[in-house]
Amino acid sequence: MASGAGVSAGRLSQREAEDGFYNDTSEFLAELSGGSLHMGYWESPSDGATMAEASRRLTGLMAERIRIGPGDRVLDIGCGTGAPAIQLARSTGATVVGITNSPVQARLATEKAEAAGVADRVEFRCEDAVGLGFPAESFDAVWLVESIMAMPDRLAVLRQAAAVLKPGGRLALTDFLERTAPAAGTAGSAAPQYAVLLGKLMPLQDYPPLLDEAGLVPVEITDVSDRTVARTLDCMRRKLEDDRESLTLRFGAQVVEQFDSIVLRLQAVGFGYGVVVAERPGR
C-alpha cells in the first residue's frame, strides 16, 4: 500500500482503505498508467502502442460503446483524475459529470479540465456512487471505467445507474474478473495486500443476471484480458524500472518500492478484465 494510506485494508473498512489509498496515490497511479487510472488496450501481441496510447485507446473503445454525441449528458462514476472524461468530452462533444469519493481526485480532475479548456462541459464532484443525487432519467449514458470493483455492492451501483439513465440510454463498464475458481474460504476476494486495487473479483458470467436485476438489458459482455492485463502490468514494471530516479524524487522511495511489490503481486494473481455494455429498456 502506498505511503500515507496509514494501515492495511485488513484493519480498515474497504471503503476507508479505498478513500485513503486514492487520496494518497492518485498522481502516482496516473503516472504509471499513462495519464488515466485504467488499463491499456492493445490490438495484438505485435501492437507497439505505448501505455499512454493504449490507455487512450481503451477510453475511446468505451466511448464508442455508449453511442453519444454533442448535447448528450454522461455520468462518469469513479472518474479518477479526469483524463477519460476529458477525452470523452473532446471526442464526442458531450457534457460529462464525473464523481469520485476522493476529494484529491476531484481537485486534480477539475484542474485538468480547466487546463484542457473543457471546464464548461466537464464537471467533477466528490459524491457517493450508491447515493446519487441526480434526478431520474437525467443522463444519456453512464460509464464506470475500472471503478465498479471498488464499490461495496455492484448491484446497488448498477441500480443507481439505471435510475438516472434515460430510456434507451447505455451503461458501459470495465471490471476486474475472477478467471479461476477461488481457493476455499476466499469467496473470490483478492488478497488483502492488493484488495484496494482489485476489490472483490467476480466471474464475467455473473453479469447477465446482475444486469437483469438492476433493470438493464445486456448488449455486450466481453473478456478482453489478453489485450489488457499483462501488457499494462509490464508497462508499469518498465516505468518503475526506467524512471525510478525521477519517480523517487517526485513521490518518495517508499511509494516506489511499495508499488514495485504491488505490481509484482498483481502479475501473480491471474485476474482478468472484462467490458460490459447494457441498455435501459423503454425508448
CB 55 within 8 A of CB 39: yes
Q: Distance between CA atoms of 79 and 101, rounded to whole angstroms?
A: 9
Of the candidates 163, 273, 279, the residue with the CA atom closest to the CA atom of residue 226: 273
Write the single-letter amino acid at 81: T
Q: Distance between CA atoms of 130 and 152, rounded to whole angstroms?
A: 9
Of the candidates 179, 145, 180, 142, the residue with the CA atom closest to the CA atom of residue 164: 142
Scan for cell 469513479, then name that residue. 78
Alpha helices of the chain — where are they, by DSSP H? 14-32, 51-66, 83-92, 103-116, 154-164, 195-198, 207-213, 229-242, 244-251, 253-269
Catalytic residue among 18, 146, 178, 279: 146
Of the candidates 217, 236, 186, 268, the residue with the CA atom closest to the CA atom of residue 39: 236
CB 76 within 8 A of CB 97: yes
Of the candidates 91, 78, 92, 97, the residue with the CA atom closest to the CA atom of residue 38: 78
Cross-strand bridge partners of residue 172: 143, 277
- Annotated active-site residue 146? The verdict is yes
CB 92 within 8 A of CB 70: yes
Task: Count how many Cα atoms sit within 13 Å of the Cα of residue 70 in the half-sphere of its side chain.
Answer: 0
Please identify every residue annotated as catalytic: 146
